[in-house]
Structure 1
């Protein structure tokens, strides 16, 4: 018996016992094949922004079909009010989702905020969405597309790894929210 508990044979037996244990664990543990993407409710941030922002806030209404809101962050830092809202897009033909986000701020200079959110300052063209002209930007090394709109009181950036049509859908869903009294 000592022969199987020491030396090379002991090592082989120990490894086999561990592999059998792992195999049994994998067989009896339930396996989920469905995706789990945490969904958030960003309505409280919209309400807070409507109170806090010195500009009229833009919010998606409705959220594009099949999209899942995954993150929302509203900040007021040194008088600069910023809101960032992230999404997992609807599944594409390859059954994969992409990322898209909406960022808006009254940060000055506006171009610096837009450049930081888009990760580039190079415009590649313009696109009309619901009669509004958006500047297109593309950063190839990050596969990041961005739509930028510089308004007098707020800068809006729709960006992510999503395709142009998906970003256009998000930009097209944006509705101006009325300001609420502080």
Structure 2
């Protein structure tokens, strides 16, 4: 016995017992959280983009391009129209594999839009003809983009998916 008051006997079995109790408490907490968790199955919600698109078409000084149909499994997650002097149309989509595709339209240069929406160091690819119009292709390590420059608007379609899928999507724009 120790001569000092308040001292206790230390032993390996006492330490092991304390660790077992602590692990049981932690395991109980983890099990409790697993049973009572309220995670949302899919935090991404579909957005009805047709209303904003109709409004944008009524207000825009250019032809607002939207898909005639969304491919199976794709959902719209955002749509924005900015009116006034610097008009801008945005449509954000996710594919069934959760890859991003965005449509941006505004009266800016191709270089400015590629710099903002793709990458400041994006590389220029070969042009592609879709529905009688010539689209410039741009890419970086993650994104594929097709850009159509017209007199009053530049349209940029960018996606984190393969170029063929981006081209197929562009073919649906009306």
- Tell me, yes or no, whether TM beats 0.5: yes
The alignment of Structure 1 onto Structure 2 pairs a total of residues equal to 161
Return 5+ residue gaps in structure 1 as ranges: 91-95, 176-182
Tell me the distance in 1 between the aligned counterparts of 2:47 and 2:91: 10
Q: 8 Å contact 1:64–1:173 — kept in the other structure?
A: no
How far residue 84 of structure 1 moved from its aligned partner, in angstroms, is 1.3
The change in CA–CA distance for 1:155 and 1:129 in structure 2 (over 3 A counts) is: same
User: Does residue 87 of the first structure (1) align with residue 93 of the second (2)?
Assistant: yes
Alignment of 1:75-154 (within 5 A): 75-76=82-83, 79-90=85-96, 96-107=97-108, 109-120=109-120, 122-140=123-141, 143-154=142-153
TM-score normalised by structure 1 residue count? 0.75
Residue aligned with 1:41, SS: coil
Return 5+ residue gaps in structure 2 as ranges: 1-7
Q: 8 Å contact 2:110–2:147 — kept in the other structure?
A: no
More strand by share: 1
Q: 8 Å contact 2:81–2:87 — kept in the other structure?
A: yes
Q: 8 Å contact 2:147–2:157 — kept in the other structure?
A: yes
Tell me the distance in 2 between the aligned counterparts of 1:165 and 1:97: 17
Match of 2:29 among 18, 21, 24: 21
Tell me the distance in 2 between the aligned counterparts of 1:43 and 1:58: 12
Structure of higher CA gyration radius: 2
Q: 1:95-125 deviations in whole A, cap 9, x for unaligned?
A: x331111111123x45322432232453111
What RMSD, in angstroms, separates the aligned Cα atoms of the two structures? 2.7
Tell me the distance in 2 between the aligned counterparts of 1:56 and 1:161: 25
